[in-house]
Amino acid sequence: MTDINPPGAATPEGALEAVAAKLAYGPAIAVLSGSLPPGLAPGALAWLTERLRGQGARVVLDSSGPAFEAALAAKPTLIKPNRDELSALLGRALPDRAALLAAAREMQAQGIGSVVVSAGGEGALFALPEAALWVTPPRVRLTTTVGAGDAMVAGLTAALARGLPPEAMARLATGCAAAAVSRPVGGSPALAEITRRPKPPMSSGSEPLPHPSPARRIAGRFRLSQQDECHAL
């Protein structure tokens, strides 16, 4: 599959301030995602993150490059780089789960509470304040790769809004991403594809974790590993 990402339209003068003014009502959660359009300085996301955090909002950041790096200093609530983006940020390869977990811990040490790193079909790392989880997504028929990361961010944001615990957050975000890459071409995934009841997830020691209650039927079938340290993976 070929994914073409052209640059966005040029940003008129005062556009960033206009966006900030529209957010002055004080959203509980704000999502800053994608690359900066031409005309905005690399510090634009950092400025907006600081402003939103000052209003009491939780900020979810999903970007890359200089704008992403600059925004980290503003300490967003949650970041969701993919493996390549985090590798580029740190200037080193992240070949396995141990390396990803160590990198996520570095981000948390800088004051970023939640770090979610997607690794394509291999799965995703959820380094959260309460726990670190590795989720392997369900096997689905791939129809597109467009929007997988955006769908995961949507699931993460919904989980934050609902106050879901780590395991439930990981399931919802993974379910959203899996549904997005297997949706009909040009269509949207059906809600049932995201909320279908999963098989009981398994811990790294192959002991079944408690089966989710009906209120937590929020993903497809996958194996879930929970650990306090890297070696538990």
Catalytic positions, written as ranges: 150
What tokens does 227 get?
């650990």
Residue for token pair 């206009």 = 18
If you ran DSSP here, which 8-state letter would residue 117 be given? Answer: E
Are the C-beta atoms of 32 and 49 separated by less than 8 Å? yes
Q: What is the largest CA-CA distance in the chain?
A: 57
CA distance to 6, 133, 188, 205, 224, per residue, from 162 (Å): 34, 19, 22, 29, 21
Q: Which of 83, 162, 160 is nearest to 118 (CA)?
A: 83
Instruction: Estimate to the nearest angstrom the gap between the alpha carbon of 194 and the chain centroid.
Output: 16
* Residue 143, CA atoms < 13 Å, CB-side half-sphere: 13
Which residues sit opposite 114 in a β-bridge? 78
Question: What does the buried/exposed string (b/e) look like for 174-193 if buried means 16 or more CB atoms within 10 Å of the residue's CB?
Answer: bbbbbbbbbbeeeeebeeeb
What tokens does 187 get?
């269509």
